[in-house]
Structure 1
């Protein structure tokens, strides 16, 4: 079941942001699903601790079901995150500490290593599905099991990662903020900033879903995405 909440009245724009430092582009790991054609692409971007394989099932489902929309890239879907700082509500610092403390002896099979890591994480990361998501980052390198994400860098820059830049100009296109009803990452306190930056935004919640919405309620997630992409 999908629940839609109103955003309320528009808010005024903030003053221009302070000057920002130069940003250097880097190549991104990515995967393409489907055949390139004349239609604009639908781009899926994962979040922290994610990788380009996270949305493979979602991407394949959308390739099968999405019709020929000429303006797919002219709209935005934000899944269970808002344009505000989420540092204070995030439990990821505790997860990072738990991941750093995982100790796996060399020589174990991949399945045994994952099971051992799962057991060691369980006291802190109590949601089994979330543990499985984090464990996608456990890889074997020269006989040793390590985390392929840079936990030290993420920990050091966590406040920056979980914050959101101050923007002056709003996004004029249609936008959907699709959250899980059991997740704290989108709430009514975020509505004014969503309305300011995304004046055509709609906020919807999928009942029973946590932060990893597409995994918790796959069909409901796909339906919400398709409804939004096919809307005028």
Structure 2
């Protein structure tokens, strides 16, 4: 039977790229804030590419069901093209980072607020896609001194439930039944067949199946579906905030996506008064995957 992954790997970092060790760490304790207390951060798994220390680093935050490897090729290319350090990381309950019951944006923001100073990456250019974009926006609003510039990729600081199929994806993933002992290639094929009735798009199914991994000889979902399901309404929403972020901000949208609508522009301008809005033609919600060259060109142009 398919199970959820409950282990993670602590990163070992040196100059240039970082590699992941193989030590296994228990599930992180509950970090939910109580009585107004800040959520307790968890140690995130990350990769750091070396570059000029006097330039703000580029920090990528992936979306729901994603992981740090989503940006591998883009991170390497931008490190070479800009000379900057580039950080990619796994959000809590994703990839190799710890599982934790708290999946609020406040908690995810605290994780990054803890990590960036430890790595000497303050201030940084935050580049967040979808869920990662909302996390980056909240961090910029809460701690503007940590953020040199902000790029939000195909997401806005409003509720996005109406255009999201993520709850259906999650239900389909939780319903998958894979017998023990099945070879990995056969298991992935069977999982794909079981997802197909709900998720017709092959690219989306392949993206979700990157979360199907082998741990101790068993196939598991490494994304914490329980925590995501419990916090889905919060993930689709955005925490109310009165203060604004006055730094340079780019909202980079997919031309074929409906996640950011004209009705969102007023809230974007209220919270991010110096925001620019740019559209990448022929790109859907996953702008960086659909049009990687245009995506990188937009980032370089914004940095310039």
Note the C-alpha offset of 1:115. Answer: 2.0
CA contact 2:252–2:279 (8 Å) conserved in 1: yes
Assess, with a 3 A threshold, how the Cα gap between structure 1 residues 129 and 34 changes in structure 2: closer, same or farther. farther
Tell which structure's C-alpha radius of gyration is larger: 1
Assess, with a 3 A threshold, how the Cα gap between structure 1 residues 20 and 160 changes in structure 2: closer, same or farther. farther
**What CA RMSD, in Å, does the superposition of the two structures yield over aligned residues?**
2.1
Note the C-alpha offset of 1:36. Answer: 6.3
Alignment-derived partner of residue 27 in structure 1: 43
- The runs of at least 4 aligned residues of structure 1 exceeding 6 Å deviation read 68-71
Alignment-derived partner of residue 253 in structure 2: 179
Question: TM-score by structure 2 length?
Answer: 0.65
Alignment-derived partner of residue 5 in structure 1: none
CA contact 2:57–2:84 (8 Å) conserved in 1: no
Unaligned runs of 5+ in 1: 1-18
Spell out the pairing of 1:112-191 with structure 2 (5 A cutoff): 112-191=186-265
Q: Counterpart of 2:251 in 1: which secondary structure?
A: strand
Candidates 267, 270, 295, aligned match of 1:196 = 270
1:43 equivalenced with 2:88 (yes/no): no
Distance 1:154 1:68 in 2: 33
Question: Cα deviation per residue 1:185-217 (whole Å; 9 max; x = unaligned)?
Answer: 111111000000111111112111111111111
Question: TM-score by structure 1 length?
Answer: 0.84
Alignment-derived partner of residue 68 in structure 2: 52
Distance 2:62 2:185 in 1: 25
Alignment-derived partner of residue 93 in structure 1: 167
Distance 1:221 1:112 in 2: 35
Number of aligned residue pairs: 212
Unaligned runs of 5+ in 2: 1-34, 86-122, 126-146
Q: Counterpart of 1:31 in 2: which secondary structure?
A: strand
Q: Which has the higher contact order (CA 8 A, sep 6+)?
A: 1
Note the C-alpha offset of 1:218. Answer: 1.0
- Per residue, is there more strand in 1 or in 2? 2
